[in-house]
Amino acid sequence: MATFLSSDHMTLSQALEYQRWNGSLSFIKDLEKRSNLMRMMPWFPTSDGAVHKGARATALPEGKFGAINKAVPTGYGATTEYTESVGVYELASFVDTRILEGRTTEQANKIRAANDRLQLMGFLQGLAKEVVSNPGTDPDAVKGLLARRAKLGGQVIDMGGTSSANDLGSIIFIRFGEDGVSLRYPSGGTPNLSISDLGTVQALQTDSSGKVVGTFPAKETLARVYYTVDVADDDALVRVANVPTKTALTTAQVQTLVDVVNTTLDNVGQGYVAFAPKQIIAQFWKYLLDKNNVYFSQGEVQGMGRPVQLFGVPFFYEEFMTAAEAKLTA
């Protein structure tokens, strides 16, 4: 298994392709067709095994002009340290051996592969949901992106939508990279989806309360991904919350987005990508096609099609972001 330097990075499918793990690769490719965010997300090694320690700059020193026989100007920056623990996202799935009995080996393999594929696609879709929206209340879980921007203020901007039926959504602006937003895998390894065939085991049958009431022979497949979320720069992850998903955006609400790009995002949004539920993206397309549109245009991102964009920031549909959020408050 290859080891990559801290400066090396790749997406999950690139890592699997590099190692020729074609079985895993097909599942990841399917996931990336549904999750633009996971398709773009870079992976880097942690600083120290199962723990990643980083520092965010809160102040940067500046140099001064020096002179011969005079002391070299000095300056001190300021940083805050943070720690992210790697979590293991896993699933043990079972196929009852009675489904496979009485079949040829080829038929049994095809049936098991079909069952495994369905269960593993659910596993991968769940992974994307966790990366986006895990609330971080479970100490063993990895807090998702939205939960890291859970209250209005700072990098969370209010679009002003109101709701009595949880019909709001969010837009997240992300600057990917080792100094921005990325996923981290344990150093010394590679980003990977591990799929293991554990053979025939006695699977547990439980009732509605979780009590074990019996066992049955089954073929077991174990899937695992080790990862953590790293936001190395607070400004690399900006959330616009309380965006209406069932009513049209007002001109004032669109202007809020303009202000976010121009004043909140670093470098007027250069290097950022935005993600939102399809109901919000659909509204942007309506604006784009309106003859009075002065805000949106159609861009082009290599390998990603021609997304709608706002002053150079492309907006992509993210299936695993919900259009049914409750109103976010400070």
Return d(Cα 198, Cα 216) in angstroms, integer: 15
pLDDT per residue as tens, the chain (330 positions): 233 333 356 666 666 565 444 455 555 666 667 788 988 899 899 999 899 999 888 888 888 898 999 998 888 888 889 999 999 999 998 999 999 999 999 999 899 888 888 888 888 889 999 999 999 999 999 999 999 999 999 999 999 998 767 789 999 999 999 999 999 999 887 776 778 889 999 999 999 999 999 999 999 989 888 999 999 999 999 999 999 998 888 989 999 999 999 999 999 999 999 999 999 999 999 999 988 888 999 988 877 788 999 999 999 999 999 999 999 998
8 Å CB contact between 231 and 237: yes
CB atoms under 10 Å from CB of 114, counted, come to 11
Q: Are strands 43-45 and 181-185 parallel, antiparallel or unpaired?
A: parallel
Dihedral of CA 196/197/200/206: which sign? Answer: positive
Q: CA 192 from chain center: how many Å?
A: 15
Q: CB within 8 A of 15, min separation 6: which ones?
A: 43, 190, 191, 192
For residue 269, what are its two tokens? 């949004």
The reported pLDDT for the residue numbered 25 is: 52
| Per-residue model confidence (pLDDT) at position 9 | 60
| Residue 189, pLDDT score | 75
Supply the pLDDT for residue 292. 87
What pLDDT score does 87 carry?
95
Q: What is the pLDDT of residue 23?
A: 52
**Cβ 299 vs Cβ 308: under 8 Å:** yes
Cross-strand bridge partners of residue 185? 45
Contacts of 177 (CB under 8 A, 6+ apart): 42, 236, 271
Distance CA 56, CA 232 (A): 6
DSSP assigned state of 181: E
Stretch (H or E) spanning 45? strand 43-45
Place of tokens 């549909």: 317
Within 13 A of 300's CA, how many CA atoms are on the CB side?
A: 1
The string of DSSP letters for 140-165 reads: TSPP-TGGGG-SSBTTEEE-----SS
Please tell me the predicted confidence (pLDDT) of residue 7.
39
Print burial letters for 239-270: b (CB count within 10 Å at least 16), e (below 16): bbbbbbbeeebeeebbebbeebbeebbeeebe
User: How high is the pLDDT of residue 2?
Assistant: 33
pLDDT of residue 29: 64
pLDDT of residue 30: 66
Residue 309: in which H helix or E strand, if any? strand 308-310
CA dist 167 and 174 (Å) reads 23
**Structure confidence at residue 184 (pLDDT):** 93
pLDDT of residue 17: 61
Q: Quick one: tokens of 92?
A: 């043990």
